């Protein structure tokens, strides 16, 4: 009996190092949390997961002796679902970074939770400038585009070209309200004025009453401060109401290339917008986009390209830091430059914003396009310092401190 007990204890003792070794080689998990079934599902959705997986593969598939694993979930544009998933990922599944986070309200909630847990978030899909403003986090980053960039990049040029009076049609949530506020500042700073604004519920199907208000305002420019299916439906119905034929300029402040693809050039032609990425801009963009097309059957938009870039930068920071600790990695992310097809000379600032050049584009006419996804004429490059909130004006406590 004593011999059997001794052998049992010896077996248990021998197993302990094995268990410890298994725990030490647990995969490094990256989570992509976004809308995969609703009005923003084509904005990032499942193809953002593909972009993250591509970044992991290009990085080599492992870091610090650990395999890298990408997990994903659909937050359904609900903050309670998003925070519940994120909490489980952090506490149970040991996810170290959450990316994409399309939907500003969701992103703000998850970024706050991640800060409590000392985990990394990198927002690509949401546009709210509050993520790097008053709600900034030492472990939170904003990679692609925000309301300030959209307002400055698009409105400055149009006001200077004579569009002095503006009407804002915005979505009634954090993103739409922030975009409207930023646009108002830019228009007024350049000598224009906002003659009216109205906000619609997310997922609105009938924009008739809102567009009638825009028409009756006689504003020279009608700005759409919404995104996803809301932007597409706004543009379709604006075409039916003849807004542009009546002399008003239709400005899409939150449009992505998949919106133009869904609309078709007949309805989208002439729209002016700002974007941080266009698949056909240069050889590096085309090379990545060709690979993405092979896997997804579509060209990448700004969100998918940003998810790739930010995921790759995060992994580089983990390797350089020699750690997966959120605060340590966050500091390394701020130290390392961003140089890839998405941002040639990107800089991660103290507030978490990745400052980079963007592009003022106009949607081509059907006659100008050479085929599917050939939709933009790049009018000019917008330098990073123009489309980034000056740190002197930042409301981020990390900057003020």
255-311 residue pLDDT tens: 889 989 989 998 888 888 899 999 999 999 999 999 999 999 999 999 999 999 999
Looking at the predicted structure, is the pLDDT value of residue 43 above 70? yes
Question: Could you tell me if 124 and 46 lie in one domain?
Answer: yes
Please tell me the predicted confidence (pLDDT) of residue 400: 78
Helix (H, G, I), strand (E, B) or coil at 12: helix
- What is the H or E stretch that residue 155 is in? none
Indicate the pLDDT class of residue 229, thresholds 50, 70 and 90: confident
Residue 7 resides in a domain? no
Question: Could you tell me if 228 and 367 lie in one domain?
Answer: yes
CB 316 within 8 A of CB 340: no
Q: Which residues contact 250 (CB under 8 A, 6 or more apart)?
A: 221, 222, 224, 235, 238, 243, 244, 270, 271
Please tell me the predicted confidence (pLDDT) of residue 235: 92
Q: How many Å separate Cα 347 from the centre of its chain?
A: 17
Please tell me the predicted confidence (pLDDT) of residue 286: 98
Question: Could you tell me if 229 and 315 lie in one domain?
Answer: no
Percent of the chain past pLDDT 90, that is, above it, reads 71
Show the domain range for 45.
29-145+282-356
CA–CA distances in Å: residue 247 to residues 30, 104, 111, 221, 347: 48, 33, 42, 9, 40
Question: Could you tell me if 49 and 66 lie in one domain?
Answer: yes
Residue 372 resides in a domain? yes
Long-range contacts from 289-298, C-beta under 8 angstroms, 24+ separation = 291/54, 292/47, 292/50, 292/51, 292/54, 295/50, 295/54, 296/47, 296/50, 298/47, 298/258, 298/261, 298/373
Helix (H, G, I), strand (E, B) or coil at 112: helix
Selection from 147, 161, 62 nearest residue 388 by Cα: 147
The whole-angstrom separation of Cα 303 and Cα 139 is 20
Question: Could you tell me if 325 and 366 lie in one domain?
Answer: no
CB atoms closer than 10 angstroms to residue 77: 22
Q: What is the pLDDT of residues 330-374, one digit of tens each?
A: 999 999 999 999 999 999 999 999 999 999 898 999 999 999 999
CB 118 within 8 A of CB 139: yes
CB 219 within 8 A of CB 212: no
Please tell me the predicted confidence (pLDDT) of residue 279: 98
* Mean pLDDT of all residues belonging to the chain: 90
Please tell me the predicted confidence (pLDDT) of residue 145: 92
Percent of the chain past pLDDT 70, that is, above it, reads 94
Looking at the predicted structure, is the pLDDT value of residue 236 above 50? yes
- The residues with which 123 forms a beta bridge, in sequence order, are 100, 142
Number of domains into which the chain is organized: 2
CATH of the domain at 178: 3.40.50.2300
The reported pTM is 0.86
């Amino acid at each position: 009996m004593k011999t059997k007990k001794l052998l049992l204890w010896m077996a248990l003792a021998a197993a302990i190092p094995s268990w410890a070794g298994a725990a030490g080689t647990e995969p490094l998990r990256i989570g992509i949390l976004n809308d995969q079934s609703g009005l923003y599902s084509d904005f990032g959705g499942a193809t953002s997961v593909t972009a993250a997986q591509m970044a992991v593969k290009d990085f080599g598939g492992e870091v610090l002796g650990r395999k890298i694993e990408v997990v994903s979930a659909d937050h359904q544009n609900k903050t309670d679902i998003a925070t519940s998933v994120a909490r489980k990922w952090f506490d149970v599944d040991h996810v170290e970074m959450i990316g994409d986070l399309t939907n500003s309200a969701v992103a703000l909630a998850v970024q706050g939770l991640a800060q409590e847990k000392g985990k990394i978030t990198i927002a690509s899909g949401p546009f709210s400038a509050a993520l790097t403003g008053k709600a900034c986090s030492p472990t939170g980053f904003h990679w692609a585009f925000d309301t300030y960039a959209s307002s400055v990049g698009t409105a400055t040029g149009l006001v200077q070209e004579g569009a002095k009076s503006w009407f804002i049609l915005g979505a009634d949530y954090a993103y739409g309200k922030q975009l409207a506020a930023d646009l108002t500042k830019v228009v007024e700073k350049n000598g224009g004025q906002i003659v009216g604004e109205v906000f619609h519920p997310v997922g609105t199907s009938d924009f008739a009453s809102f567009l009638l208000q825009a028409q009756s305002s006689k504003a020279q420019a009608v700005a759409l401060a919404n995104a996803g299916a809301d932007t597409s439906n706004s543009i379709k119905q604006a075409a039916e109401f003849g807004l542009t034929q009546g002399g008003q300029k239709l400005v899409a402040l939150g449009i992505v290339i998949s919106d133009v693809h869904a609309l078709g050039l007949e309805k989208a032609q002439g729209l002016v917008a700002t974007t941080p990425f266009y698949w056909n801009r240069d050889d590096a963009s085309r090379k990545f986009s060709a690979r993405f097309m092979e896997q997804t059957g579509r060209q990448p938009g700004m969100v998918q390209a940003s998810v790739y870039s930010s995921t790759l930068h995060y992994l580089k920071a983990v390797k350089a830091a020699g750690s997966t600790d959120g605060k340590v990695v966050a500091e390394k992310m701020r130290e390392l430059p961003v140089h890839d097809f998405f941002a040639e000379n990107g800089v991660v600032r103290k507030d978490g914003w990745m400052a980079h050049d963007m592009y003022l584009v106009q949607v081509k006419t059907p006659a100008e396009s050479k085929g599917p996804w050939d939709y933009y004429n790049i009018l000019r490059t917008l330098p990073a310092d123009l489309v980034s909130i000056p740190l002197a004006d930042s409301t981020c406590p990390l900057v003020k401190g």
